């Protein structure tokens, strides 16, 4: 019981850049399926970016793509600001 309490009390949520890394790992694992899969595939009809966004906890593929782009292309200070919640939105206006 104490271990479960400690796990929940000390747990830190993933940052946006960590979520982007999780999404990229999911995309890599999925490979080049392009929305197609074998019969019974629970992801059939979904594109890899949408699956990655959902598994990483980012909701939409557009948000996932924006966060991933900031993580890869922005200055480290912007990535830190995003991760720390000092900026409220990752929009096309702030991307290079």
Contact 82, 17 (CB under 8 A): yes
* pTM more than 0.85: no
Question: What percentage of the chain has pLDDT greater than the value 70?
Answer: 79
Separation in Å, CA 71 to CA 6, 15, 62, 64:
31, 11, 14, 10
For range 12-31, the mean pLDDT: 91
Contact 18, 58 (CB under 8 A): no
Write the pLDDT tens digit of every residue in 42-63.
888 888 899 999 999 998 999 9
């Amino acid at each position: 019981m104490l271990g479960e309490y400690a796990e929940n009390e000390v747990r830190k949520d993933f940052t946006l850049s960590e979520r982007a890394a999780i999404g990229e790992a999911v995309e890599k694992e999925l490979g080049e399926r392009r929305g197609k899969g074998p019969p019974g595939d629970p992801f059939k009809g979904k594109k890899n970016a949408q699956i990655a966004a959902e598994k990483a906890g980012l909701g939409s593929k557009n948000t996932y793509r924006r966060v991933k782009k900031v993580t890869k292309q922005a200055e480290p200070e912007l990535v830190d600001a995003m991760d720390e919640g000092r900026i409220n939105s990752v929009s096309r206006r702030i991307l290079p």
